[in-house]
Each structure stands twice: as C-alpha cells, then as structure tokens.
Amino acid sequence: MQVSYFLLKKSDKISKSVIPVLALLCFLFVFSSCEGQEGNKSAIYTYQNGDPNGTGKWYMGREIAYVMGFQGMYWLNRPEREAEENTSTLIRNMQIKKGEVIADIGAGSGYHVFKMATLVPDGLVYAVDIQEEMLAAIRKRKEQEGIGNIRLIQGTEQSSELPENTIDKVLMVDVYHEFTYPMEMMASIKKALRPGGSVYLIEYRGEDPSVPIKILHKMTEQQAVKEMAAAGMVLVENIKNLPWQHCMVFKVK
C-alpha cells in the first residue's frame, strides 16, 4: 500500500524521511497566507496567461496591453494617419473653446498636442507621458516652433501628476488599454478635472473585425463603459464619425 505523505496518524513516528514533507507543508502554509494578504489587490488586478503578446495582467475581464515603446514613434507620426483615423474630425469632436485647459494623457510624440495648442492660444495643453523620449520629442518641436502654451509632465504608471481641479478636457488616444494601473490612473485624472470637465476616450473599436489593429489594442464600448463606471465616470455620448475608433465622451457621475 502506498503511504500518504500528507496524512500523518498519531501513531506514526516522525522520521527523518518526513522532514522534507513537513518543510513543504510549512512553505505551502506561509505561501497561502501571503496570498491572502494580496487578496484585496488581486481583487482589482489578476494575473493569468492570455494573448501571446499580452502582459498577463487583467483588469475587469480585459488583458492589459504592453506600453508602446518610444521606438514606435514613427508609426504615430505616419503621414497616412489623418486619412486612416480622421484626426481632424476627432479634434473637432472635442469642441475646444478658447482659453480651455486640456490634458493629453499618453501624448506620445505630441501628434494631437500641437493640433490642440493652436486652438487655445490663451489656454494651455498639458502633454503627459511616462516615457522621457516621447516628452523630449515634444519639447524639441515646441522649442523649434516657439510654442508657449504646451506644458510637459512626466507622469507615472499610477498617476497623471496633473494639478488638481484644473482641466476642462482630457484626451486619451490609444493609451487607456495600455495603462498598467487603469484604476489608479483614472482616480488621478478624475481629481485633475474641473467640475463639468470631460474625458475623451479614443480606442480602436473592439467590436469591429475590419479595424486592422491587434485585439489587445482595441476596446469595446461595453468594456470601456464598465471600466469608466468603476472610476465613477458615465458615458455621455459615443460620437460615431471616426473610421477606426470609438470617440467616447465621459463625465464624472
């Protein structure tokens, strides 16, 4: 009969051979206690294999994508982008008014930042990114062109580092799905909004297989609404006039 390593009877003598088993049991006990302490955190983020190109980190049923490296800057600046994404229409959708303060979170090389800055000569555009190389590209162009109403902020994975209660409109283009800490980022963005402020969440349409973008870099409206609701935001409108993207406008509930 095979002897069970796990069930020790009172009559069993503790021999040297069971010491490794006891050590293993102690390890398993300590490990499971640690997991219990992580319990609250793992209720927000979970970890499991998903898409081969994914991070393996999940939030509200969605696998978070990797952050696009600054090496991909050429793709953000590609000449065919206007035709593919109709970026002029996106900017018009924002109904930017003179004097407004706007924040582009995940500004990248500043593709939208410079377009918006010309619309608010007496206002301000914050360009927020976590990669210094992206901010350096914006800084270079801003200095070359002598633009005074763009302010650069190096954020962190968990905070936009924007000043509280200062922003009229937040723009996030193709970035939310790659936030490593979406819940914390949205909390900091919400704090930065002025009363009545809006968030323009632009994501490639996950419902539309004809949009030629990898699945992890797309989002459905349903998923976005669910995640924004968790952040205390409500969908006001999804403006359906962009070729590839959702243009979802959210406000604080």
Ligand X SMILES: C[S@@+](CC[C@H](N)C(=O)[O-])C[C@H]1O[C@@H](n2cnc3c(N)ncnc32)[C@H](O)[C@@H]1O
Site for ligand X, rule CB under 6 A: 67-68, 76, 105-108, 111, 128-131, 134, 155, 157, 173-175, 178-179, 185
The HSE-up count of residue 123 (CA atoms within 13 Å, CB side) is: 21
For ligand X, the closer CB: 106 or 123: 106
For ligand X, the closer CB: 21 or 136: 136
For ligand X, the closer CB: 25 or 89: 89
Phi, psi of 145, rounded to the nearest 5 degrees:
-95, 0
For 94, left (φ over 0), alpha (ψ -120 to 50), or beta? alpha
Task: Please provide the distance, in angstroms rounded to a whole number, between the alpha carbons at the two ends of the chain.
Answer: 65
In the complex, least distance from residue 131 CB atom to ligand X, rounded to whole angstroms: 4
In the complex, least distance from residue 244 CB atom to ligand X, rounded to whole angstroms: 12
Q: Are 74 and 105 in contact (CB under 8 A)?
A: no
Tokens of 135: 């901010």
For ligand X, the closer CB: 173 or 201: 173
For ligand X, the closer CB: 101 or 202: 202
In the complex, least distance from residue 111 CB atom to ligand X, rounded to whole angstroms: 4
In the complex, least distance from residue 173 CB atom to ligand X, rounded to whole angstroms: 4
CA distance 253 to 249: 12
Tokens of 57: 């980190």
In the complex, least distance from residue 239 CB atom to ligand X, rounded to whole angstroms: 17
Query: What are the Cα distances from residue 67, in Å, to 130, 146, 164, 179?
Result: 10, 30, 25, 7
For ligand X, the closer CB: 120 or 127: 127
In the complex, least distance from residue 49 CB atom to ligand X, rounded to whole angstroms: 22
Q: Residue 178 class from Cβ within 10 Å (0-12 exposed, 13-18 middle, 19+ buried)?
A: middle
Helix or strand run (H / E) with residue 104: strand 101-105
